[in-house]
Amino acid sequence: MTKLSLGSHPYMLGFEQLERLLERSAKSGNEGYPPFNIEQTSDSSYRITLAVAGFAEADLAITLEDRQLVIRGRQKDDSDSRVFLHRGIAARQFQRSFVLADGVEVGEAVMENGLLHVDLFRSQPETVVQTIQIKRG
């Protein structure tokens, strides 16, 4: 018995990109930092919330790269001028990636009480019925 991939199934034409997106999201290896929530705020909108305590707006970058929402954080290390007796709050960088479906757009991003909220919305696709003419050969 042979294993069919999504892109090689005979009735699934043009889904090779979906298979690549699934592989890419599986390889992203987000290790749990920072913690996040994903909530559905309506039938056509979502909100991603990341706990980014200690990060300023200038320390964060949000980009959309090939249908992948990437949120990066990098704090400036000012430990040279400070003497820590105990350092339990790490100033480490992070990168979180979320693969977005076609039609999902990024709205606004808001920083509030150490939480970064990124709003997403699904644009309404146009329903198109197309008739294909048959030509004589």
Cα separation, 107 vs 127, whole angstroms: 23
Query: For residue range 99-112, what is the model confidence (pLDDT) as tens digits?
Result: 898 889 999 999 99
Cα separation, 98 vs 78, whole angstroms: 30
From the list 18, 113, 106, the residue with the least C-alpha distance to 70 is 106
44 pLDDT tier (thresholds 50, 70, 90): very high
Q: What's the mean pLDDT in 116-135?
A: 87
Q: Tell me if residue 23 falls in helix, strand or coil.
A: helix
Query: For residue range 10-26, what is the model confidence (pLDDT) as tens digits?
Result: 776 777 777 776 776 66
State the average pLDDT for the chain.
Answer: 84
